[in-house]
Structure 1
């Protein structure tokens, strides 16, 4: 019983360290835009090559209808659909500026050494390395000059994404607090040889693991929601930008696993305790008034 209890407390202590490291670092979600930036630079350099003639899409000739169709002027939408030279996909994707970033619960930072232009601006003090993550509604995040219905949709999505961020930070903070309190109860119960306190510590570890599960699942749902927001050309990432979870996320998942294992060991330990048989002599029982 003591071996299981001490092992559970040790695993809970390690899980607190992993969760604290995950909360304090900014490597939950990472993006790498180097391939995208190199591709856009190569595409832009082609326009400056000698002999390359660039024709704007707005000045392209439109396909005219045949005389048999009548002398009526065609609709503008139909003329645009009949344009033989649509706008290149690479040009539309390169119109936005993507950076290689790392995102945590509190900050969003530029990755060091991934973009020489940004590194120069950061060195000169014209660009900040990290910007804080806002946990309040900020209307400046909404792009201007958009239709009313799209603006309303973006505003609703901003509130939804904000709620997911708050749930992620709140539940993982609750998980660390509950696990820390359970560790204190378990250590005191191990010192006092109190089985009830050890059992309560195990339940607290399981409760903290549940809060940690909710936080991590909410974080994953928030990232997927950000990538699928409408309109797609503003919030989705191009295919040549690699993105994924960082080591802070895996540290949090490791802390979750250790917490659940610690809760299982601490709740199992009191059941292995065998009651001690008292060796004291029983008092004689009186029978018929005689001892």
Structure 2
């Protein structure tokens, strides 16, 4: 049983080391959230619509409306004529393609243009006109607020900006706490295995579980922050068109994998001391009546 306990402890420490590696990769890379705007740009370019934003900019999303107005139906007796499609198509194009969308990847620290997705942006990056990556802001700034909006909408955007900022801070803070706690627990677990200390192994398991809890909070906050950004008001400024593909990247899956390995390591390290029965129980001899 002692060998089984040592095997469980060693396996837990190996899993914790793998979890630390996955979390370090997730923190250091930028593929937490990805967007692919190639289809949207091709459709807007096909209509020859000129955008008002500077080329290569990573602007906030706008509203989405159909690109084409439906062809007018044939008039039937007793049915009023359908409205002219020219005005509807023009308004749809202005709303749908009025802002520039780019294919981007976002992480905890940076937001970058995706390499090889948009030739015009790649040319501007090569010439130094624009930067491939911009830093994610963890401090409030009013320069990101849209101009020429009513005061009530501006106040709403300012409040939402503070809320989104708090979510980003919680995501980065809790995942940093998770890595620190897991690293501390791994050091204690290694020392416990070297000195054959069951209590240290048990404490290491508890620290792994605590680090996994912090990681859960961080990842859930990250998902909540992304959903909040996509549902911010007004929708014509922050919404994503339907023809833009978006979703979580491989960095996010590395973080979730690190979470799973951390919880499994905590379970194994807390279970191992209960299997260690190397200490033989000494039973005292029963004293009979009259026996010395």
Does residue 253 of structure 2 align to residue 243 of structure 1? no
Of 7, 11, 14, which aligns to 1:7?
11
| Greater C-alpha Rg | 1
Does residue 27 of structure 2 align to residue 28 of structure 1? no
Question: Which deviations, in whole Å up to 9, do the C-alpha atoms of 1:94-137 show, x marking residues without a partner?
Answer: 00000100000000000001111111110001100101111000
Stretches of structure 2 lacking an aligned partner (at least 5 in a row): 50-82
Of 219, 224, 231, which aligns to 2:234?
231
Does residue 189 of structure 2 align to residue 186 of structure 1? yes
Q: What is the distance in 1 between the residues matched to 2:138 and 2:92? A: 35
Q: Give TM-score scaled by structure 1 length.
A: 0.82
* Cα shift at 1:272: 0.4
Q: How many residues align?
A: 252
Q: What is the distance in 1 between the residues matched to 2:247 and 2:119? A: 22
Does residue 154 of structure 2 align to residue 148 of structure 1? no
The 5 A counterparts of 1:32-51 are 32-44=36-48
Q: CA RMSD in A?
A: 2.3
Query: Matched residue of 2:47: which SS?
Result: helix
Query: Matched residue of 1:15: which SS?
Result: helix
Q: 1:242 to 1:278 in 2, by over 3 A?
A: closer
Q: What is the distance in 2 between the residues matched to 1:214 and 1:251? A: 16
Q: Determine the structure 1 residue equivalent to 2:72.
A: none
Query: Matched residue of 1:244: which SS?
Result: strand
* Cα shift at 1:91: 3.0
Q: Give TM-score scaled by structure 2 length.
A: 0.82
The 5 A counterparts of 1:186-225 are 186-225=189-228
* Cα shift at 1:276: 2.0
Stretches of structure 1 lacking an aligned partner (at least 5 in a row): 46-81
* Cα shift at 1:44: 1.3
Does residue 93 of structure 2 align to residue 90 of structure 1? yes
Q: Determine the structure 2 residue equivalent to 1:105.
A: 108
* Cα shift at 1:275: 4.5
Q: What is the distance in 1 between the residues matched to 2:141 and 2:119? A: 30
Question: Which deviations, in whole Å up to 9, do the C-alpha atoms of 1:184-236 show, x marking residues without a partner?
Answer: 00000011100000000000000000000000000000000000000001001
Q: What is the distance in 2 between the residues matched to 1:90 and 1:218? A: 35
Q: What is the distance in 2 between the residues matched to 1:188 and 1:166? A: 33
